[in-house]
Amino acid sequence: MRLSQILKSGATAVLRRFKSRFPFRPQGQSAPDEQKWELTVSETAAYHRGLVAESPNADQVDDRAWSDLELEKIFTRLNRCVTPLGAQYLYALFRNYQTQPANLAANVNAYETFKSEPQVQSALRAALTKLNRRESADLADFLMGPPPTVPARYRFLYMASALAIACPFGLFFSAWFLPASMAFWGVNIFLCYLYSPGLVRHSPALLTLGLLLACLPKIAQALQGTNLPELGKLQTSAPVARKIQKRISLAFLRGHGGDDLTRILIEYLNMLCLFEVIALCRAIQAVNQKRQALLKLFQVVARLDALQGISNVLAEYPSVCVPEIKAGRQFSFREIQHPLVRNPVCNSIEGSGNSLLLTGTNMAGKTTFIKTLAVNLLFAQTLGVCLAKKAVLPPARVRTLIEREDIITSGQSYFYFEASELLRMLNDAAQSGREYWFVLDEIFRGTNTLERVSAGSAVLNYLTSYGLVIASTHDHELCTLLRNDFDLYHFSEVINGNEARFDYRLRKGPCTTRNAIKLMAIAGFPKSVTDLAGKLAAGGHSPVELPRIRHV
């Protein structure tokens, strides 16, 4: 009785240890569409990192544009994926320009399929439910990182396992088999604890891979009757998927046990007879042999999840179109909008082939509008759609200078930071030979007015030789200096008494009003301050002695 209690106590401890390694938990009863995971930035970018490692010179959205255009927030807004796999694929889709029109057309075909056949989308989301778990995020690194290794000469473990099983049967013939059995069991326990840590750390990814392969028949069934090319890829890969799934299933024997007693027995057999170590080695070897085929299956499933999620969220926008992408510098948008702005004021613009210069007061909408243009240009070349009623665009890459963060921590002055970023743009454009959209907000805001206007006009003029420049400014002098190469637009506000109202409407021509001092008065600045500011502005900053303002 005492021995059985000791064995049960020891097995319970072992079971607790392995449960922490192999997260077999009953699925909750939450709705299938509810995301049961939240990924870190590093986990979200895992698939993208793998693509960059394979093709470091691929055509990617750079980090500056990603930050300036708040694409992380946009990604979160559009992420309606069921699984972490889909979220990782969606992130990579945002970060990589599609240079082949066929790839963009395939994206659009998927959106339209899921939109026109909602039952297909519902069936697909249901088929992906088992992958709706945070551990699924490990699969990208597992398949795209360095291949996992197994112990050298691991096949000798078969002999150790066979002897540990055979020797106890020898007790029917001679008691001398008892010490032999104990010796082999001791050796196997040592081997189990020697090799298990290196093998078990791959168990979450193997488990996810097994779940992914188990989902494939349901996914293929959900896509029946559609023209999606992913269906053919799933059907072609079915034999390989079934073979690998069987290998992986054997490595998780404990997960299929009924009660705790059965699972405890399995734990002891795994330790004494090395069943699990051998099964993990076989599973890892099988995965390594079919690594490329499994990666393609990962990409198919992740892509389907990402595209059905995008189709879901695009239905919430009033206008979505497939843009016409053609060479040149002319572009047009009809009723374009930003994906993060609720109840937007949609503007239209018809480019003449010249660059754009926008003027207007703060909060009038300049920065949001130039971001809107840049984001939709990226959408057109990554997702294949624009948030507009109609769009005609050139195949240009986006470079931005909008936000100016990390200046203090980097030890740079404001002006030097801007100059360095602009020089990087110039060098990249000169070396790549591509057309660009340079999206710039208030260039050289970190220096004095005279040099800001002089340097700004020179740089903006130079950039036009490499692509379209879309710039905003408060310096009306730039409108005069750049009027030959830039189309002028502006945003303005309407001031009624003590109230300022912004209509966010784009208007042709330069801004002809100066309302900053009026806005200061509306904001509540002391009257003595706004009166003096108005007097100085009216005099064109001519040298005067400022009066001493006394506080009362």
- Identify the CA nearest to 78 among candidates 400, 392, 385: 385
Is the domain of 351 the same as that of 232? no
Judge whether 53 lies within some domain. yes
Judge whether 481 lies within some domain. yes
Q: How far apart are the C-alpha atoms of 273 and 251, rounded to whole Å? A: 14
Instruction: Give the tens place of pLDDT for each residue, 453-470.
Output: 999 999 999 999 999 999
pTM recorded for the entire structure: 0.85
| Burial of 80 per CB tally in 10 Å (0-12, 13-18, 19+) | buried
Instruction: Give the tens place of pLDDT for each residue, 247-278.
Output: 887 666 444 445 566 667 767 777 777 878 88
Structural domain harbouring 392: 324-510
Confidence of residue 515 (pLDDT cuts 50, 70, 90): confident
Number of domains in the chain: 2
DSSP per-residue string spanning 323-366:
-EE-SSS--EEEEE--TT-SS---EEEE--SSEEEEE--TTSSH
> What is the mean predicted confidence (pLDDT) over 365-372?
94
pLDDT at 502: 83
Is the domain of 288 the same as that of 391? no
User: Which residues in 288-441 belong to E strands, given as ranges?
Assistant: 324-325, 332-336, 347-350, 355-359, 390-393, 397-401, 436-441
Q: For the chain, first and last CA: distance in Å?
A: 93
Is the domain of 343 the same as that of 483? yes
pLDDT at 6: 45
Cα Rg of the chain (Å, integer): 32
* Apex 54 CA angle, 50 and 56, nearest 5: 100
pLDDT at 523: 78
DSSP state for residue 134 in the 8-state scheme: G
Q: How far apart are the C-alpha atoms of 316 and 517, rounded to whole Å? A: 40
Is the domain of 306 the same as that of 373? no
101-115, 153-167, 393-407 — which one is most confidently predicted on average? 101-115
Is the domain of 6 the same as that of 54? yes
Is the domain of 230 the same as that of 336? no
> What is the mean predicted confidence (pLDDT) over 129-147?
95
550 compared with 222, residue with greater pLDDT: 222
* pLDDT greater than 80 at residue 545: no
* pLDDT greater than 80 at residue 154: no
Instruction: Give the tens place of pLDDT for each residue, 68-88.
Output: 999 999 999 999 999 999 999
Is the domain of 149 the same as that of 182? yes
Is the domain of 42 the same as that of 169? yes
Judge whether 36 lies within some domain. yes
Is the domain of 301 the same as that of 170? yes
- Of 256, 281, 314, the one marking the end of a domain is 314
* pLDDT greater than 50 at residue 25: no
Judge whether 544 lies within some domain. no
* Apex 385 CA angle, 382 and 387, nearest 5: 120
- Identify the CA nearest to 485 among candidates 349, 352, 373: 352
pLDDT at 167: 79
> What is the mean predicted confidence (pLDDT) over 112-132?
96
Judge whether 550 lies within some domain. no
- Of 314, 337, 371, the one marking the end of a domain is 314
Is the domain of 183 the same as that of 50? yes
Is the domain of 72 the same as that of 207? yes
Instruction: Give the tens place of pLDDT for each residue, 83-103.
Output: 999 999 999 999 999 989 999
Q: How far apart are the C-alpha atoms of 30 and 179, rounded to whole Å? A: 53
Is the domain of 291 the same as that of 355? no
Judge whether 528 lies within some domain. no
Mean of pLDDT over the chain: 85
Judge whether 517 lies within some domain. no
CATH of the domain at 344: 3.40.50.300
Judge whether 273 lies within some domain. yes
